[in-house]
Structures are given as structure tokens and as C-alpha cells.
Chain A
């Protein structure tokens, strides 16, 4: 886990390129029209390359700039990138949650559950109470952050007091949170009037985050908040005593203990902060993007967050950049699916491949015959009992 943090930028870039290449092959050779050309290998290769290229062009247009929409004027061509930023905001926060835990030597698989808790809390305040605008946003967000922080803190406390492995506990808590959400959406308090399907009432206008580019774009202050929080986390980690303790425990828990730090305190507080961060992601997602709590409110944010933290090498800036990358893959993937009939699931394959390649630098090194890359694994292993 330690060496996860070090390493050059070359490796992520090569890993990304390699993953996109394999993804392209997958697109090409699962296409019926391409496979029909089996008798003419050269034609088949050309058709395959064209198919993959078209899919990736659609992905790019869907994530950043769409020339077709641009013709409508009013900056509509940039609608895709605004959507990418809408998705990136919660992803940055969830990614920071996982990354911060990594830095303290903990693997927070539970961002998904904490994200759900944040969304539940924020949504409940957001549609139940009528409060003045700014106060409403603040209270709703803080309540979501608060209960998500507790949910994360449970993990840290159990780890500190009983040695329960955080990975096992967080996996289990994710399921508990999903079922809790399913149940809540059937209860009186969360059921939308006149609806039987699981959807909570809309967030009141006073609790909706202000939009920053007018009503035509969904983009809100959420992205600014998440960038600010990323900066705060960088500050926390690098400039404060608490951050130093986090890193010290992550680097060598035994040494930190010898130096007089309370590992139990650090474990618990890291998980509280990590839970709060993921919860903030959930809160902003419901207050500044979805505007209503649904079963799928967390989507795959909590799980994408893990790949974001790994690709970003558990550093706040890295997290911001990789969250933006994965958000663009997600958003562009929708367009790719609609336009070129390439399933969105390809994005998952690409994500997984990127992490596999980054995790095994020796493999990438051998493939590209590189010499000057640190060949040690980026993600050194630790056991269940440690």
C-alpha cells in the first residue's frame, strides 16, 4: 500500500492507452458486421478499426464536446463536458474518501454505503423541512455528512477495538446500506405522494444547490465544493499534525505506536473523515444533480471511487484528475452506447484493465520494454490479519 503513492505519471498514461487498445479490440471483434468479413482478413481489420474508432469518437463527443448540439447555439456544444463535471463532483469526493483511507493504511471498500447514507440524510432534510435557502442546503448537507461519518466511524472503531478487518466490515455494510435504502423508500416518510415505486419526494428548491451556468445545464456549485474539499484534504494530509499522524500510521503502524501515537484514534478518525467525505459526495449528488432519492442514487460511485483512488495514486490531485477521466468515460459511454450500440459495460472493462496494469508495473514494463520505470508493485500486499 505504501508504494501505491509513489511512481511516475508515465505508468498511468501507458496503462490507460493499453486498456483503451484492448477495449477497442473488444468492440471490433464482438461486432457482427466485422465478424462477417472473416474470409477477408485485411478488410476485417479495416472494418474492425473503423468500428472501434467510431465508438471512441462517440465516447469523446459524449464526454466533452458535441458538434451536433453545438449547432443549436448557446454553448450547447459544451453540454457533454458540463455533464461530465456533474458526475465528476461526487466521484472526486468518494475517491478522496478511499484515497484518504489508503494513506492511513486502510482499504475503504465502504464508500458505496457511506455515499448512500449521505444521500439519505441530505435528501430527508431536503424534502421534509422548509428552511431559508442557504441554511437549508447547509443543514441538509451536514446531516448527510454526519450520518455517513458515523457509518464510516463504526468501521474504524470495530477495527481499532476488536481487530475486525475493515475490508470485510465495509463489504458487509455496503449491502446493509443498500437494503436499508430499499426499505426506507417504501416507508411513509420517504414515499412520494401518489407514487408506489421507490422514489422519494423532490428536494425542495431551497435545498437545491445553485446552478452555475444557467438552467440549461445541470452543473452546480457541487463541482466547486468538491475541488475545494480536495484542496482541503491535501492541506490536511501535508500540513497538519492530524494528517501527519494519518500518514505515519499508514506508513508503519508499529513505528507510529512506538512514537506515542494512538493507532486506535487514527484508525477511527480516518474512517470518520472517509465516511464523511463519501457522505458529502452522496449529499451533493442528491442536492445538486439528481434532486430525488432513488434506489440507484449511488449508482456505482462507491466502486468507481476505488478505481479513482488507485489510478490517482491516493493523492488529492491525482484523485481529481482520475475522477474527471472516469466521469468522462461514464458520461461519454452513454453516448457511445446510444450512437454506436457499444454497451456501457465496456467502461467497466477499461477501468479494471487500467488498474490491473497500474498494479503490475512489471507487466507494463515488459510489454513496452521500458527500463526507467520503478518495477516494484504499486500495491504491495498485506494480509487479512494485519
Chain B
């Protein structure tokens, strides 16, 4: 590791990120440990149904639990600093640190109550499903140099299409098949106007969202409400249990007793990561997103590749959209994606435009979202609205450069015309 004065800007930002985590850990210790009044026992339940039991319950004093988790956060801060000085990656430690802080908060807020932790984690994963699909769509799009603010629209259009088709055919399979096409159709608008007409992609994404909200809302009131029996009463996917794996204690029911959409999500994440970093397509995609002129000069068709990637991204987001209807409630509801596309965008940015980082961010956001649900059931002093703000404030802190390297691909959002750069 070079001397401090020789740090690159990216390294300096990473270091600032580690300091930020440390400061947050110190700050969190004040309310959760030192100011915590009358600590009481928190009971964490670890068994959901019939999985193998490693540990049944964990009963612990809320202050002790907070001390444990804050220490864990402090340890991961120190570990990430040591890894940083050795020039290694620190992402995993940041994730553990942030997760520990949320757990310290949960232990403090849930004193005197029973928390079915396995159930909480399961709910968090489900809440993260559309975020992860949306963020993967964002990764594919933006790594190839096209800004995707239209994730919300892609999710909503696909949720609508999947819900309606599943209802008309009474088949979840058809709903699942149609969803990626609906997402890709929205992407087609994005790609055409962004690449062919070279419109500002932020404005474009915004307008596409308005268009999809308007169209689905219009058709919802015109068709889905009056003819609900045929148009809006689709079946729901049932969970598939993976033998043995689903029996693993704690993580088994969380990860391996889910609907096919969740398994597709694992696949989407794995494939995005693999293809982006290990294949020729990935190398070309990243080249086109960072330096289109250079990519062009070695014979890569910049705009054709971008066009194709934007369409693929829409299809990926479409699967996430299917989660809302065939994956969760069956019926389509007006604006049912409720800003999830923007949280996916936040996860993408918080995860620094990388598939792994985006997944970690989406899981943290899903967990924070679910904490809010859990805490509103047991009743706590912290208003649920503040927990709902977590993803947004975290993202603002991230883009302001306090949490490590946050930089978009260099050519993200800039249309490419041969000879003009």
C-alpha cells in the first residue's frame, strides 16, 4: 500500500467511507447503549417450521445485545481498515458493519418482545426481490452507458402485464413469460429515444415512468375494476421447497423455500456478475460504458450493443415486476410498485454500479423496510416513517462521497455519435 499522500481519489473515498462507518458506529452506541433506559429481554426466534434446529431461541438483554452488535460493527470497521491498508476489498465488511448497526437498533427497539428472526429475514429477502431485479437492470443499462431512471416504469408495466395475462389464462407460467417482454417493451422506448434521438436520459426515464403510471392506471380503471373476474384475478405462484437445502437451520427457509421468481433472481444476479466480468460481452459492455470512442476504434458497434443491453435490462426488470402480481398478491393494484424502482436505483448507486454491491444494498434496504413492518406490529417509540427514509438518506450520503467510491461509468448517459468525441 502506498503512502497516504499517494492515494488515488478512489482510495481516498474508500477511506472516507470507512471513517463514516466508524463514526456511525460511535454515534449509534450513544442511544442504543449509553442512553438506553430500562433494558429488558429480547427474544429472537430462529425456527420457522420444520427445518433442522440449530438453536431454538436466543433470549438476551437488549443492552447486552446492542453492545454485542455495536462491537461487531466496530470490529468490521477495524477489519475493513486493515484490509484497506493492505490494498484488499472491504465491501463485505461494510455490509456486515451496516447490518450489525441495524441489528443493534432492532435489539434496542424491540426490548421486551419476541422477534421471529427467520421470518424477519425471509420477509426482508422478499421485499428485496423487486429491488434486486431492478438494480440488475440498472447495472446492465448503466454499465453500457445508458441511464435507467425508468426502472419504476419497467417494474410497473411488467407487474400489470403479468397480472393481466395470468388472470386471463389462469396460469402463472404465462404471466411469468409475458413479464420480461413487457419490461423489454418499455426498454424499447427508452433505447429508441435515448440512442436514436439522443434525448436526455434522465428526462426520458422520468417521462416513461409517467407514461406507464398513466397507461396502467387508465386500463386498471377501465378494464381491471369493472371486469375483475376475468381481467384481474390471477393465480399466485406457490413456493418450491428445495430438498435438503431448505432444511438448513435459519438460512434454509429464508433462501430455499421460495417461489421460482426468487430462484430466477439468484440466477439473474449470478449471470449478471459472471457475464459482466468474465465474458467478452461483459468486457465490451464495460468498454462502451466507460470509453465508447475507444470501444468503437477496436470495432465494437457501440450503439447496437447499447440498444441490445437496454432491452435485456428491461427484460430483467420485467421479472422483478412479475413478483408484484404473480409472485405476491395475484391482483394488480394501481401504482402498486410504489417507488420500488427508485429504491432499486438507490441500491444500484449505493452499490456503486456493481452487481454484488447492488445486491448487498438491496438486501440492506429490504431489511430496513421489513424492520419498519415488524416494529409497527410490536409498537415502538421510533416512527416507522424514519425507517422508511433509511434507503433514501443512505443514498444521499453515498452520492455525497461519504461512503467509499461512488462514480458512475464515465460515459453513462452520454449518447455516442461517431466522430463527435
Contact = CB atoms under 8 A, between A and B. Distances in A.
Interface of A: 1, 26, 30-32, 107, 109, 158, 162-165, 167-169, 171-173, 175-176, 179-180, 182-183, 186, 303, 306-307, 310, 342-343, 345-353, 355-356, 359-360, 362-363, 377-386
Given A349-B218, A360-B193, A182 B385 contact: yes
A352 B197 contact: no
B214 A171 contact: no
B388 interface: yes
18 contacts: A164-B396, A165-B399, A168-B399, A175-B389, A179-B386, A183-B385, A306-B203, A345-B220, A346-B218, A352-B208, A355-B203, A356-B193, A359-B207, A378-B199, A381-B194, A381-B413, A381-B414, A385-B412
Nearest to B387: A179
A32 B231 CA distance: 13
B100 interface: no
Contact of B217 (A179, A186, A343, A378): A343
B410 interface: yes
A343 B217 CA distance: 8
A162 B202 CA distance: 20
A381 B25 CA distance: 40
B199 A345 contact: no
A30 B227 CA distance: 12
Nearest to A351: B210
A30 B219 contact: yes
Nearest to B395: A172
Given A30-B218, A179-B389, A377 B197 contact: yes
Nearest to A181: B385
Chief secondary structure at chain A's binding surface:
helix
Interface in B344-376: 345-346, 349
B199 A379 contact: yes
Contact of B200 (A164, A176, A382): A382
B109 to A, nearest CB: 16
Interface stretch (B42-50, B114-122, B254-262, B400-408): B400-408
Contact of A164 (B206, B386, B401): B401
B201 interface: yes
Contacts of B198: 377, 380-381
Of all A-B residue pairs in the complex, the 3 with the closest CB atoms, nearest first, are: A348-B214, A345-B217, A352-B211
Nearest to A381: B200
Contact of B218 (A32, A343, A362): A343
Nearest to B216: A345
- Most chain A CB within 10 A, of B147, B206, B414, is at B206
B301 interface: no
Contacts of A360: 193, 197, 199
Given A360-B193, A377-B198, A381-B200, A175 B339 contact: yes
Contacts of A30: 218-219, 222-223
Chief secondary structure at chain B's binding surface:
helix
A297 to B, nearest CB: 16
Given A168-B399, A345-B214, 4 more contacts: A172-B396, A176-B389, A349-B215, A377-B199
B200 A1 contact: yes
A383 B211 contact: no
Contacts of A173: 392, 396
B331 to A, nearest CB: 18
A166 to B, nearest CB: 10
A359 B408 contact: no
Contact of A176 (B193, B211, B393): B393
Contact of A384 (B203, B207, B215, B413): B413
Interface in B69-126: none
B411 interface: yes
B204 interface: yes
B307 interface: no
A350 B411 CA distance: 32
B214 A352 contact: yes
B418 interface: no
Contacts of B407: 385
Contact of B400 (A164, A347, A382): A164
A346 B214 contact: yes
A197 B228 CA distance: 30
Contacts of B203: 107, 306, 310, 355, 359, 379
B415 interface: yes
Interface string B217-240: 111111100100000000000000
B213 interface: yes
A167 to B, nearest CB: 5
B8 to A, nearest CB: 16
Interface in B36-80: none
Contacts of B207: 307, 352, 355-356, 359
A383 B411 contact: yes
B18 to A, nearest CB: 17
